[in-house]
């Protein structure tokens, strides 16, 4: 039997709103939830009017697939009139999945996230930010080469390519200029870490309030310079390799850093923390994704990590995330058999 609840899967079709739920992802999530709940629909929110209509319908739960609404697309995150969806839903007492506004604000700006992590004493590469309007001043930055350059507010490897590793100021300025002119993005410049790369899925356990911390190692193919970078081209072509992390010591170090970063950012429910090692093998925080892509179990790091670490199927994962949102508002939960599955999982933290 299905539980009589109305759930809306909310996403955007505007690229500037950075919705991680593509049309295929939205349909997949809706299909999973429709097996357990009576009224599941997809809602597109591209502006304030769409958001106001959502609130008037007052669904029992919003499966959140976007973070904010902009009044001026050209300003992006610098739009002073932007509306954070999580805060808006909180103000109207509507339950939703995932982290709240403050954690999302930190996560969506890579510089803010790194500052927060560094302030708590956790390892992250030394960094500097260059505004897109001041790329000519990059020569004034005191850096030790090689460095890694990426946009401050893009995901999916966008803006990352073989020119992202710079060995001198000429290469650095060229890449910063490229990001400023082609993507209209500020640049985050970090000490380049040549070591192994990991992505760590974190999923709260509803029954115990602990967390399952699930790392995978990601091995990108080498580029023409021998660097292994998770560029947009690599991710689109799906040429990177994802493997389980079996070395006990490395697994513990990576998991410890990931869960501590998760807490430092004020995250909840679920998310993904990306980590890379330096030349000495010390893990460093790179960036967080508190609303990771959930397209399927084979094409995205978060579902892959759930499968490789806990043998947690895609459908169970989606229902688990939904359950966390419903539990926060103490609403009815579907299928006690699913609860038994989750209770059998032993959280690492």
Per-residue pLDDT averaged across 11-29, rounded?
81
User: Do 293 and 158 share a structural domain?
Assistant: no
In a domain, 101, yes or no: no
User: Do 212 and 326 share a structural domain?
Assistant: yes
pLDDT band (50, 70, 90) for residue 184 = confident
Q: Which of 28-37, 113-122, 206-215 has the lowest mean pLDDT?
A: 206-215
Q: Which of 76, 96, 116 is the last residue of a domain?
A: 96
Range of the domain at 268: 197-343
- Our count of domains for the chain comes to 3
Which CATH number covers residue 246? Answer: 3.30.470.20
pLDDT band (50, 70, 90) for residue 18 = low
User: Do 337 and 256 share a structural domain?
Assistant: yes
pLDDT band (50, 70, 90) for residue 339 = very low
Q: Which of 162, 191, 220 is the last residue of a domain?
A: 191
**326 and 61 in contact (C-beta within 8 Å)?**
yes
In a domain, 102, yes or no: no
In a domain, 110, yes or no: no
User: Do 204 and 173 share a structural domain?
Assistant: no
Residue-averaged pLDDT of the chain: 88
In a domain, 104, yes or no: no
**334 and 2 in contact (C-beta within 8 Å)?**
yes
Give this prediction's pTM.
0.90
- Cis? peptide before 95, omega within 30° of 0: no
Q: Which pLDDT score is estimated for 43?
A: 97
- The string over 250-281, giving b where at least 16 C-beta atoms fall within 10 Å of a residue's C-beta and e elsewhere, is bbebbbebbbbbbebbbbbbbbbbbbbbeeee
Q: Which pLDDT score is estimated for 16?
A: 58
Q: Which pLDDT score is estimated for 253?
A: 98
**21 or 329, which is more confident:** 21
User: Do 287 and 162 share a structural domain?
Assistant: no
User: Do 261 and 161 share a structural domain?
Assistant: no
In a domain, 85, yes or no: yes
In a domain, 115, yes or no: no
Among 309, 264, 235, smallest CA distance to 317 is for 309
Q: Which of 77, 96, 115 is the last residue of a domain?
A: 96
User: Do 273 and 201 share a structural domain?
Assistant: yes
User: Do 239 and 274 share a structural domain?
Assistant: yes
User: Do 238 and 172 share a structural domain?
Assistant: no
User: Do 179 and 242 share a structural domain?
Assistant: no
User: Do 336 and 201 share a structural domain?
Assistant: yes
In a domain, 116, yes or no: no
User: Do 324 and 205 share a structural domain?
Assistant: yes
In a domain, 176, yes or no: yes
**338 and 9 in contact (C-beta within 8 Å)?**
no
């Amino acid at each position: 039997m299905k539980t009589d609840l109305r759930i809306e899967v909310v996403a955007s079709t505007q690229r500037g709103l950075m919705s991680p739920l593509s049309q295929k992802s939205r349909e997949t999530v809706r299909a999973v939830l429709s097996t357990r709940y009576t009224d599941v629909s997809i809602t597109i929110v591209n502006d304030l009017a769409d958001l106001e209509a959502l609130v008037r319908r007052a669904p029992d739960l919003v499966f959140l697939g976007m973070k904010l609404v902009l009044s001026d697309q050209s300003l992006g995150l610098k739009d002073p009139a932007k509306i954070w969806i999580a805060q808006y839903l909180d103000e109207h007492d509507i339950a939703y999945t995932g982290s709240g506004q403050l954690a999302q604000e930190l996560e969506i700006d890579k510089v803010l996230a790194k500052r927060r992590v560094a302030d708590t004493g956790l390892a992250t590469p030394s960094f500097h930010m260059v505004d897109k309007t001041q790329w000519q001043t990059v020569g004034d930055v005191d850096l030790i080469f090689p460095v890694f350059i990426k946009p401050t507010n893009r995901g999916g490897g966008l803006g990352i390519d073989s020119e992202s590793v710079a060995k001198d100021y000429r290469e650095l300025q060229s890449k910063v200029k490229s990001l400023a002119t082609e993507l209209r993005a500020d640049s985050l410049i970090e000490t380049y870490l040549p070591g192994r790369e990991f992505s760590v899925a974190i999923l709260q356990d509803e029954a115990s309030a602990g967390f399952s911390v699930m790392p995978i190692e990601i091995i990108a193919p080498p580029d023409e310079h021998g660097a292994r970078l998770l560029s947009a081209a690599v991710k689109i072509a799906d040429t990177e390799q994802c493997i389980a992390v079996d070395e006990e010591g490395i697994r513990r170090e990576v998991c410890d850093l990931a869960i501590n970063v998760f807490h430092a950012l004020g995250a909840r429910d679920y998310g993904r923390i990306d980590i890379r090692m330096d030349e000495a093998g010390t893990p460093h925080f790179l960036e967080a994704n508190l609303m990771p892509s959930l397209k399927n179990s084979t094409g995205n790091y978060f579902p892959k990590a759930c499968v490789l670490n806990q043998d947690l199927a895609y459908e169970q994962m989606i229902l688990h995330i939904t359950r966390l949102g419903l539990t926060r508002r103490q609403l009815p939960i579907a299928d006690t058999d699913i609860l038994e599955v989750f209770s059998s999982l032993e959280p690492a933290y």
